Chains A and B, each alone.
Chain A
C-alpha cells in the first residue's frame, strides 16, 4: 500500500496512486465561496482531516530503462543531450523542442554516447540509495475547519488594503493587472498586509496559512505529488505564456542564424515574449475548488524553513527564512507540486501569497 497511514482515500487520490492519469480529471465544479470579504477576497471552507506529509518514494525503474541506445523507450526518444527531450521529461512538449521519437536534429541534439547507459552497478547503487532515502512520511491532522483564499491575493486586493502596489507585472506590462496576483512581496510584507486587513475589518482572524494548512488545501484529498496531467491543468507554468504547456523551458532554440534588426517592443510585448504572471483563476481549480495553488506565484506560508527537503512534524519556532509553496510561472512540473517545501527569497516577481481566515 502506497499510503499506509493515509487519509480517507478520495477518488482523486486513488486515481493518482493508480496512475490512471491519462485522462485529465474533469474540472471540479466551482465551489461556492464560503465568504467574500470587504476587499472582494473569496474564501473556500476547508474541512478537518488528515494527510500523510513527507512521502518520498523515488523510483529507479526509469533510469534502468533509459540507460542508452537499445534500452527501450529512451532509445526511441529524441537523443537529447540530457534526456530532457525524452518522452515524459519536462520540455518535451514545448513547441520548439523535438517531439519524442524524432530523429536527431541539427539543434542541440548530439549523438548519444553508449557510455551514458547505466550498468548493473549503477542500477544497484540507485536501488540502494533510493531505498535508504525512502520515507513513508508521517500523518498530519488538521483538527479545525478554516477558510482559505480561493485565489492568490490579487494586485487589486493588495492595493485596497495597502494603497500601494509592489508588483512587477503591473501597469502597461500586462492586461488587467488588477486581476494578477500581487508579487514582489517579502514575508514581512505579508505580515503588514494581514495586520492592515485585520485592522480594516476590525478582526484578528486573518493570517498566513501554516505550511500544513496550505498543503492540505492544495492536495484536496490527494497525495503531495500531483500527476503531470493535473499539474498542467491547474498550474500557470511555462513562463505564463499561452500554449507553453507545463514545461519550464524557454524551448530548444533555433540554430544560430544571422541576427536581424528587431523592432522595438512595447512593455506588454516584452512581457508576453519573456514571461509573466497570469490573472488568477484562469486554470482548473483543484478538487476542493481552490485555484492556482500550483504555479503562477510561489506562496509564502507562516512557517520558518527547517533546512530539509520536507517539513518536520513541528515547524521551527523562528527563523529568518520562510517556506515557499506551490511554484511560480517559471517553475516546472517537477516542483509545482503540493509537497514542495522550498524557501525564500525566490524570484520576487514570482512570489506572492494567499491568506486564511480562522472560523469562530
Chain B
C-alpha cells in the first residue's frame, strides 16, 4: 500500500490509521458529480506524471491508498513536485476533494505547461486556500483568498470545483458547494498564446540543496515533515 519511504514516517502511519477508521464508519468516500469522468482511477497513478522541470522538485512520491486516496509526499524531504495529467484540457469543469495538513502548501494547476506555468487555485491549510494566482504565469486578474471560516472543514476532505472556459478564461471556484470566487480574465495569460494545458496538483518545495541563498531559502514553512497532501475523487467534465 505504501512505499517504504512513507512507512517510516510516524505522522503518516497515524494519519492513515485515522483514515481507515473513518472509512470503516462509511463516512469517507463521496461520489463525483453526475456527468463527470474520473481522471484518477483510485487505484493507480495511470494518466498522471511528475513534471521533470518544475522548480518544486522532480522526484516526489505519489502513492494510492486502498481507500482510493492519492497521497503526494516530498522525496527527499524539502523537495516537492508537480503531479500533472498526461492529457491536455482546454475548457472544463474540474471536481476534486482535498485534505490538507496544517502548513501544507499545495495548489490546483489549471492549463499548466509541462514545466508548471499555470493558473493556480491556492491550497494552503491555514493560508490563502481558494485564491487564484499565477505561477510561472503573469496573471492579469486574480481572486483574493475567500473567508472560508464557515465553509472549510479542517482535517477532513473538502470538495473543490473549478470551471474554466474561454481563451480569455472565465474562472469560477466553488468550495464545498459554495461559490467562493469568479473572474473573467481580460486576456489569455498563457506563454506563447497557447490555450489549454495539463491539470496539476502541486507539492510545494521547502528547501534548497544547500543553504546558499541570500536570506535562508531553507524549509520556508510550506510543508511539515511526514504529512502528505491527499486528493481523491478527481473528475472532469470537458466543455466545448
Contact = CB atoms under 8 A, between A and B. Distances in A.
Given A239-B136, A239-B138, A125 B127 contact: no
Contact of A225 (B125, B139, B212): B212
Contact of B214 (A21, A259, A298): A21
A360 to B, nearest CB: 36
Interface stretch (A26-34, A188-196, A200-208, A328-336): A328-336
Interface string B222-238: 10111000000000000
Contact of B128 (A2, A110, A226): A110
A241 interface: yes
A125 B55 contact: no
Contacts of A330: 113, 115-117, 136-137, 191
Nearest to A168: B192
B218 A58 contact: yes
Interface stretch (B35-43, B157-165, B200-208): B200-208
Interface stretch (B19-27, B71-79, B87-95): B71-79
Contacts of A334: 55-56, 205, 208
**Mostly helix, strand, loop or mixed at chain B's interface?**
loop
Given A82-B127, A344-B52, A125 B226 contact: yes
Interface stretch (A43-51, A101-109, A155-163, A285-293): A101-109
Given A80-B127, A255-B144, A241 B11 contact: no
Given A22-B214, A334-B55, A339-B209, A250 B220 contact: no
B129 A81 contact: yes
B105 interface: yes
A62 B218 contact: yes
Nearest to B79: A309
A87 interface: yes
**Mostly helix, strand, loop or mixed at chain A's interface?**
loop
Nearest to B189: A274
A308 B59 contact: yes
B102 A252 contact: no
A253 interface: yes
A115 B145 CA distance: 18
Contacts of A55: 209-210
Interface in A236-295: 239, 241, 248-257, 259-260, 262, 265, 270-271, 273-276
15 contacts: A56-B76, A61-B218, A88-B214, A110-B127, A115-B126, A117-B103, A125-B9, A129-B225, A169-B192, A256-B142, A259-B183, A259-B184, A334-B205, A335-B55, A350-B115
